[in-house]
Every structure is written in C-alpha cells, then in structure tokens.
Amino acid sequence: MPAAPASAPKVYRPANSQAKGLQRIRLSGEKTAPLSCVGRGLAEGNTPATPAECLRRKDRGGSTDVEAGARRRNQQALEQPLENPADLRYTESHEWVRREADGSLTIGITAHAQDALGELVYVELPDTGRQVGQGEACIVVESTKAASDVYAPVAGEVLAVNEALAADPQTVNSDPFGAGWLIRLRPTDAAAVDALMSAADYSAATDA
C-alpha cells in the first residue's frame, strides 16, 4: 500500500489576523495567489507558535497609546528616506545581509521593501536551529494591505530571531537596517555573501 502523502504543516495565526483576505505579493511587486489559497506557504517548516508568542492586538484597526506612539515613529521615519548602507550586501528580492564579527550574518528587509509593503502588523519568524537553503522562504511579513515571504539570502542555520518584533513589528518600518533586523544566520558558505549585490548595485536596481 502506498504511503499516505505528508500533510502540510499547520501554522498558527491569530484570530484577528487580516492575512486571510490579503493579497499575496512578492516584494518586487509581482502578485501571486491570494493568501487564503496558499496557507501552507506561510514560512513552511516553522513550528506553530502559541497564542502568547503571537502579536497581541484586540483589533487591527484599534489604537492603544503604545500603538499610537509606534505609528508616529513610523510616520516620522517614512518622511526621511533611508539610504542603503554601503557595508551591507543585498538581494534582488530586497533582503539585506550584514557580516558580524563572529562570522554570523544578520538579515532583514530593506527600506524599499518595507515602504512597498506599508505598515507591518505581524512578523512570522523561523525556529532557531532550522537549516535554510539559499532562496528558501523562511519568514513572513504581513502589513495592513499585503503579506510577503522573505527569503534566505544564503544557506545556513538560524541562530537567533528578533523576538521584539512580536510586540512591535513596526520597528521594521521605522528602523529596517537596525533594530528591525529579522534573523541571524550561521552561513554554510561565508563566501556566498560576496556574490550578493553591493549597495550601489541595489540602489541602481531599485531606482530604475
């Protein structure tokens, strides 16, 4: 008797998540299927989170004092266009990579990417210890209008994730190259970073 096909991993998503009705997009702007039709594409391989680990919001449209402050900081940041730091490397799918002193890599999405997505309301991060391949979708970022996968720029092991984003995902908007980092990775091949785009090449590609 043939073995039963493996079931798709379950991904926990808060009941107040807007993702079900959102358009699934690539950060390049190319639209794919609606998110409700590609549920198993949400950072496949992640262990389902508990409700306590997910973004605590009673209403996506509501506003607490903390949320209002985050919105103001985000708006101020958006009014000041960010340059692409010269010491980082970049991908065509709008991730950035920074080499750390210990040989690990810090990874996030660029200012161009967060601007295209709009205000983020949820970030789904992979489990530490997970092995990811180059170009593998391993993170999901969700805004008020769209959701998008974030891809591993190089292959490696996830060493750490930015847990602060669970409470304040808008940090990715206000400080994409700093406090809004997403994951830290131990690369399988450190030299693979050299093949990524320079800041000048990435800026030319996004300004075109």
pLDDT at residue 6, rounded to an integer: 38
Q: What is the pLDDT of residues 176-198, one digit of tens each?
A: 999 999 999 999 999 999 999 99
Query: How much is the pTM?
Result: 0.68
Q: What is the mean pLDDT of the segment spanning 99-123?
A: 96
Residue 86 has pLDDT above 70, yes or no: yes
pLDDT at residue 7, rounded to an integer: 35
CA geometry: angle 149, 151, 153, nearest 5 deg? 165
Q: What is the pLDDT of residues 26-74, one digit of tens each?
A: 555 443 333 322 223 334 444 444 333 333 333 334 344 545 555 555 5
CA geometry: angle 166, 197, 27, nearest 5 deg? 45
- For the record, the structure tokens of 32 come out as 């794919």
The DSSP string of 66-98 is HHHHHHHHHHHHHTSPPP--TTSEE-TTSEEEE
**Residue 120 or residue 56, greater confidence:** 120
% of the chain with per-residue pLDDT over 70: 61
Q: What is the pLDDT of residues 108-118, one digit of tens each?
A: 999 999 999 99
Mean pLDDT taken over the chain: 75
CA distance 83 to 110: 10
% of the chain with per-residue pLDDT over 90: 57
Q: What is the mean pLDDT of the segment spanning 145-170?
A: 96
